[in-house]
Amino acid sequence: MNRLIEILGTLDGYAWGPVTIILLLGTGIFLAFRMGFPQIRHFFHAIGLISGRYDNPEDEGALTHFQAPAAALSATIIAGCMCW
């Protein structure tokens, strides 16, 4: 059993070592340049959507503009925790 734990620890070191972190960061930087930095260009539009700037008071809805992404984020976190 100790040998198995040692092997799994070694594999874990390779899977989540510096190479993986560099690949993840490199991919994020590459995509940011390739797509023209949408996270910066559309920042104020996203804030306007969340704050309800484009809201029509006559429309009904169960969730506000802030509650919708908050619910999606919480569902994503819960789904990620259930995988462990």
- Residue 3: per-residue pLDDT: 92
Same domain, 23 and 3: yes
Same domain, 47 and 83: yes
Of the candidates 38, 40, 47, the one whose C-alpha atom is nearest the C-alpha of residue 66 is 47
* Domain count across the chain: 2
CA 40, distance to chain mean position in Å, is 16
Same domain, 11 and 49: no
Q: Are 50 and 70 in contact (CB under 8 A)?
A: no
- Residue 60: per-residue pLDDT: 80
Same domain, 46 and 82: yes
| 10-67 per-position pLDDT tens digit | 888 888 888 888 999 999 999 999 999 999 999 999 898 878 788 777 878 788 778 8
Same domain, 5 and 24: yes
**Rg of the chain over all Cα atoms, to the nearest angstrom:** 20
pLDDT score of 82 more than 80: no
Same domain, 49 and 81: yes
pLDDT band at 84 (very low <50, low <70, confident <90, very high): low
- Residue 7: per-residue pLDDT: 92
Q: Which domain holds residue 48?
A: 42-84
Same domain, 17 and 48: no
